[in-house]
Structure 1
Amino acid sequence: MILLLTSLWQRRGRRKPTLDFAAALLLYTLTIALVPPWVGASELLEGSDETVLYTGGIAGLGLGELDLGNAQGLDGVGIGGAQLDWAGQKRSAFTREEENGVVRAQNINWGDSWIHHLSASQIFGGDTATSAELKKREDDGFAELDDRQVRGNKTVHLTFNTCLQPIWNSSDTSTAPPPLQLFFSNSSSNKSPGPNVQGKVQYVVGVDEGYARFDIVTSGDLWVGVYASAMPSAEKDQWLSNPPWNYELALSTENYYHGYETKQFLYLVDTDDSTALFITGNMTDHSSEFGGVDEDPANLKNQSFTPYTMYAQNRNVPSRFKGLGKSYCAVRQLANITPGSTDVSLTTRGLGNFPKQQFYLKQLNRSSNYHAYLARPRTSIGTTAGILWEPLVANTKTDGNCQIIYNLPFCSEVAYAVPSNPTLFDAKQLMEFYDNGAQQWWANFTYSLQQVQCNTTSSRAYSLARDCDDCAAAYKTWLCAVTIPRCMDYSANFPYLAARSSNLLFWNASANGWQKHPWMPVLDDQEVSQWQQSGGWLGTGNNQSVVPSRNSAIDSTVKPGAYKEIRPCKDLCWTLVQSCPSPMGFGCPGEGSWAKEVAYGERDVEGDVTCSYLGAVYFLSGTTPQMAMSLRWLWGLVLMAGWWAGR
């Protein structure tokens, strides 16, 4: 009977196919009926010349192909892709032809599978010599084995991202659907790799948090199967019908189109109650050594070159990409803070004065915890893929009287939250208030420095190790750090913080009244009087309750009320004393004195910002061993220099 069908097919195949759909179904049914149920498709046709007859499919139907050679059945026939496997069970599978180096997205529903085929011509098509030899051998009728010998082996980079997934129809946000499963085969004996394949060569690719990457060495075609688990019948009403899963797959002999990087390259500068400032590591031609991407130095001369982007997710808000935290396309599509809510620019502020990209995230919620994701889109035309970095945790402030300022004209290295009052100053006015105040003090200093013989012989110079330029640089660094205090919530309890203006209230110009903090009720006259008599937050009898802001104009003009300060680092004062002539009268409070404890803080070698210094970034040193060692060594020198200066 099989020979009869074969002859029929051969006869009809000699002319333009006219086989209608009914005849196709009849042929398919008869063939299924004649195959013993314990024999698989590849076992039936393996080693038989009839395989060629079947793998050609039935053309001219306008409904896809009937491919019995690999048990794919009706493949994408416009009726939902419904198929019957050899056990007679209905399933859904689809096949898609892929292009080398092209990223494409695909939806997939519960219980469905997609087969992605990358042909040898796509893999080896760019090799002119190989293609010419293959064409010659094809013309000469050589076997497939000879073709593979000509081609040799080539590595194909497989990358995968799950972008969307079904949503649990309940307030229980802890439930996530099972992950998509990924299989591949580089053997023509298995053109439908998947979870139900037995006795054939295939490989499982692990999908971790929505991300997979695998290198495949092949000498011929590749088949990649993506499988979505069947929905448990007991959960039928628990999952929303939309969206289904959506994923991106890329097969390329040149590049990895999706990536996930665990080495940190994004750092927190500071937060306030509604914004956060982040910065990348140094962008150089060897950034990859420190977790970034190597840059072309020519691009870094262009201020509009901002190859990185950022996303953030409020951890107090249910995340739609739960279980997809390593997927670039999931974060790109589903994060609740997107690049549209971010100001992006280049800066050379901070470590090494190399170019860095900075991100000013807006529209954040106060007193909230965020995951911040650094990302880098691929720049290829039509490509939506990219690299995602492991998220960084950032907490917004609570009290509402600290605000981030950065990119100041004079104190250009200042970038952190300062004492503020949004009812009196907008961001630009606040920046000008602090920067102009520092400039006025700087002008007075320059008059004094002009009295020093800077350009003179070594025998008449005030120091053989330092000169007037060193003195000016040290003074400016110290001045900006001292006159522009780094602000923290008064409610914060870190041991390195110093309370400021604890007996003062916040002036709400909009409400024309006093408040303990901007988010608290306006006080009446009697409540204000009671507050002043009680000594404020710390109460009477505590000497810290009367410690004002170190810059008196803050209390009298900005009127932020009580806040806490991250004190300037004591080495800023030491460097100033060591760099300037002694007649200028600079001095630092002694170790262990009350004045030192109130005025200056200590550095943390692990990278936490426990004292304020210009260009400070949270945990930059703690994430890179080389930087940590360098800073410990530098700090040791500073301590030694301070000890010698005090002798």
Structure 2
Amino acid sequence: MALLYRISNINLVSLQFHFLSILFILASRAWAVELMEIDATIALGSNFHKFDANPDDPPIVEPEPHELSGPIEFDNMTNLAESVPVKDSVNYSTLVAYKFEPDLDSEWTHSYQILVYISASLCGLPDTWDTDLSENGLTLYYTFNETVAQSTDTNEMTAIKFRNGYAEGLAEMQMQVNVSEYTLYMLVIPDSCAECTSDSSWVYEFAVSQKNLLFLYDVEPFISVVDVDYDTVIFEAGRINFGKNRSYGMYIFEDGSYIPTSLNQSWCAISESTGYGTRIEIQENTTESTRNEFLVSGLEISKHYSAVLVVTFTDIPYGGGVFKQFEFTMSTSKACKLAYSLDFCNEVAYAVPVSTEFYQGGESWEQLMAAYDNYSQSLYTPFEYAMQQIPCDTELSARYSPIRTCDDCKYSYKQWLCSVTIPRCISPSHAGPQNMAYDAGLGRNHFIEQTINPPLPYAEVLPCLNMCEAIVRDCPSDFGFACPQSADLVQLSYGDPNFDDPDQTTEDGVSVTSDLFGYVQTYRACNFMGEQNVQNTTSAA
């Protein structure tokens, strides 16, 4: 009963007690799959590493091909080597020609077919080019037919358009009996352009390979925002694999200074950009936890930012990948401050209400964090005593559950306890309909009101209901843990997107809605903690 009394003192009603086309798709995505593999031997730092610090694309309009007359001389063609990118340029009313001889003895060559991956990244456009366009006015043509290539008859070639600063394609050739040599011919030619002159120039990096694409674009950001306060943001890059011969960098652009639509998929343009506000090198020793979390500070209150992750292949002169750009906005209030690297509640990585002492300068960030962490740990002690009465190490038939262990129970209870004693805080202007608003000096329990004494109004992102359900699932039934069942009772202490929420909601509790003007707005419907709980839930299903 002492345990239940402790729980009730926290003032929660909650505890009542996924053959050529397929091959190309796989190859174009294989780099992402490789990068997604989490290295289980990550060396974690004891603390977070601190770094100081578009609208939808318009409809694509297909350009007319720029007609060139006369044959080209094969002596003027540039020979390309396997997996060796080149940097080049082409002017309007001209072309640049390349050729590549596939290695027929390569392990990547099939006995019946030749495959060559073509990829390119656009570094620069003509000065008069409209950078709001997705089309780049440049096309790469290829053929295995020598006569067609020499005639520059692009109608007989396969075209790869540059869009958003990026181009990729797969050249294929069926091998023939008694033919021992094959050559891939490629022409880079500007499209028709009314505003272009002979001085108009496109700069690009270009590579061919029988193994894989060397310039890449992924439609997923690969990095997500964990939480923000008024000057700091925590990012998560859990799917990054810190393998050899690659490095990662994230570019943060301030509002009004962003990557133009015409180049937002270009590794070259982004890597050479000077318009970013902050550039972060993401390394294995600068992230924490298996989710690869890292922190960036020195940002500005209420400011809107865009960011993009870039991977560079360090074993070649040019080459790498770009992940989809994402955006985030800093808090509009100083009522909340990010908490992380706590000793006891070590999975806490979100903003919490600041204390009056911290706000007035009389308390350090470290002292504020210690106050929260020590309070949570003190409430865990009675639960530890109760767990000592449970036969955790006895034979399986005598345990309280054949599939759950005492360690499962301790973990779930700790995550729940930390979430209810260390409330997740957001500014009132970012609050959604399921978030709990508080005036200055108020909070969910006596500790928040009397010890923290929040100096400014704020809103709380309530714990997710499934954190309560995890305790019921993982702990002995003798403890009498129970969770509210009706919507009215749930909404008093928990966030649950399943109750009367018409908006779309993601798995981590972020609800997505649209305002009257059609802009997408997001708010976090509930605060979920406990990576192990996600794994447990999956294994139990």
- Aligned equivalent of 1:614: 529
1:49-82 deviation digits (Å, cap 9, x = unpaired):
xxxxxxxxxxxxxxxxxxxxx3689x6xxxxxxx
> How much has 1:102 moved relative to structure 2?
0.3
Question: Which has a greater percent of helix?
Answer: 1
- Decide whether the 8 Å contact of 1:497 with 1:566 is kept in 2: yes
Opposite residue 573 of structure 1, the aligned amino acid is C
- Aligned equivalent of 1:358: 293
SS at match of 1:388: strand
- Decide whether the 8 Å contact of 2:258 with 2:306 is kept in 1: no
CA 1:366–1:200 in structure 2 vs 1: closer, same or farther (change >3 Å)?
same
- Decide whether the 8 Å contact of 1:489 with 1:564 is kept in 2: yes
- Aligned equivalent of 2:144: 186
> How much has 1:203 moved relative to structure 2?
2.5
State how far apart, in whole Å, the 2-side matches of 1:612 and 1:306 are. Answer: 37
Asked whether 1:405 is paired with 2:339, we answer: yes
- Aligned equivalent of 1:469: 407
- Decide whether the 8 Å contact of 1:341 with 1:361 is kept in 2: no
Opposite residue 472 of structure 1, the aligned amino acid is K
State how far apart, in whole Å, the 2-side matches of 1:318 and 1:101 are. Answer: 34
State how far apart, in whole Å, the 2-side matches of 1:330 and 1:314 are. Answer: 14
- Aligned equivalent of 1:387: 321
- Aligned equivalent of 1:277: 234
**In the TM superposition, what are the counterparts of 1:18-417 in structure 2 within 5 Å?**
70=72, 95-118=77-100, 120=101, 123-124=102-103, 154-167=114-127, 174=132, 178-191=136-149, 197-198=152-153, 201-218=156-173, 219-228=181-190, 232=194, 245-262=202-219, 265-282=222-239, 309-314=248-253, 316-334=255-273, 336=276, 339-340=279-280, 355-379=290-314, 381-417=315-351
1:524-574 deviation digits (Å, cap 9, x = unpaired):
xxxxxxxxxxxxxxxxxxxxxxx4243625764474521111101233234
> How much has 1:161 moved relative to structure 2?
1.0
- Aligned equivalent of 1:436: 374
> How much has 1:358 moved relative to structure 2?
3.2
State how far apart, in whole Å, the 2-side matches of 1:616 and 1:390 are. Answer: 25
State how far apart, in whole Å, the 1-side matches of 2:136 and 2:172 are. Answer: 29
Pick the aligned partner of 1:564 from 440, 444, 459. Answer: 459
State how far apart, in whole Å, the 2-side matches of 1:185 and 1:419 are. Answer: 63
CA 1:307–1:400 in structure 2 vs 1: closer, same or farther (change >3 Å)?
farther
- Indicate the percent of aligned positions where both proteins have the same amino acid: 25
- Decide whether the 8 Å contact of 2:416 with 2:467 is kept in 1: yes
- Aligned equivalent of 2:434: 496
1:138-197 deviation digits (Å, cap 9, x = unpaired):
xxxxxxxxxxxxx9863221111112324559xx9747884322222333224567xxx4
The structure with more radius of gyration = 1
> How much has 1:250 moved relative to structure 2?
0.2
1:392-448 deviation digits (Å, cap 9, x = unpaired):
443332223323333433222222222235755665555444333322332343245
SS at match of 1:100: coil
- Aligned equivalent of 1:137: none
State how far apart, in whole Å, the 1-side matches of 2:280 and 2:421 are. Answer: 34
SS at match of 2:95: strand
State how far apart, in whole Å, the 2-side matches of 1:458 and 1:177 are. Answer: 65
- Decide whether the 8 Å contact of 1:260 with 1:388 is kept in 2: yes
1:274-299 deviation digits (Å, cap 9, x = unpaired):
3333334556xxxxxxxxxxx6xxx7
Opposite residue 103 of structure 2, the aligned amino acid is F
State how far apart, in whole Å, the 1-side matches of 2:316 and 2:449 are. Answer: 52
- Decide whether the 8 Å contact of 2:134 with 2:163 is kept in 1: no
- Decide whether the 8 Å contact of 2:143 with 2:184 is kept in 1: yes
SS at match of 2:280: helix
State how far apart, in whole Å, the 2-side matches of 1:559 and 1:597 are. Answer: 22
SS at match of 1:611: coil
> How much has 1:496 moved relative to structure 2?
1.2
Opposite residue 204 of structure 2, the aligned amino acid is Y
CA 1:611–1:71 in structure 2 vs 1: closer, same or farther (change >3 Å)?
same
- Decide whether the 8 Å contact of 2:120 with 2:204 is kept in 1: yes
1:184-218 deviation digits (Å, cap 9, x = unpaired):
2333224567xxx4487432212222211112235
Question: Which has a greater percent of strand?
Answer: 2
CA 1:247–1:254 in structure 2 vs 1: closer, same or farther (change >3 Å)?
same
- Decide whether the 8 Å contact of 2:99 with 2:184 is kept in 1: yes
- Decide whether the 8 Å contact of 1:321 with 1:330 is kept in 2: no
Opposite residue 598 of structure 1, the aligned amino acid is L
State how far apart, in whole Å, the 1-side matches of 2:282 and 2:453 are. Answer: 27
> How much has 1:484 moved relative to structure 2?
1.6
CA 1:414–1:97 in structure 2 vs 1: closer, same or farther (change >3 Å)?
same
CA 1:585–1:499 in structure 2 vs 1: closer, same or farther (change >3 Å)?
same
Instruction: Tell me how large the CA RMSD over aligned residues is.
Output: 4.4
State how far apart, in whole Å, the 2-side matches of 1:470 and 1:200 are. Answer: 65
- Decide whether the 8 Å contact of 2:135 with 2:164 is kept in 1: no
- Aligned equivalent of 1:87: none
CA 1:332–1:574 in structure 2 vs 1: closer, same or farther (change >3 Å)?
same
State how far apart, in whole Å, the 1-side matches of 2:203 and 2:470 are. Answer: 57
Opposite residue 179 of structure 1, the aligned amino acid is G
> How much has 1:614 moved relative to structure 2?
0.8
> How much has 1:485 moved relative to structure 2?
1.3
- Aligned equivalent of 2:471: 576
State how far apart, in whole Å, the 2-side matches of 1:267 and 1:156 are. Answer: 34
SS at match of 2:164: coil
Opposite residue 567 of structure 1, the aligned amino acid is L
SS at match of 1:383: coil
SS at match of 1:360: strand
Asked whether 1:479 is paired with 2:461, we answer: no
CA 1:207–1:463 in structure 2 vs 1: closer, same or farther (change >3 Å)?
closer
Opposite residue 440 of structure 1, the aligned amino acid is S
Opposite residue 483 of structure 1, the aligned amino acid is T
- Aligned equivalent of 1:146: none
> How much has 1:232 moved relative to structure 2?
4.3
Gaps of 5+ in 2: 1-68, 174-180, 499-504, 511-524
Aligned residues: 435
- Decide whether the 8 Å contact of 1:309 with 1:339 is kept in 2: no
1:57-116 deviation digits (Å, cap 9, x = unpaired):
xxxxxxxxxxxxx3689x6xxxxxxxxxxxxxxxxxxx5332221012224445543222
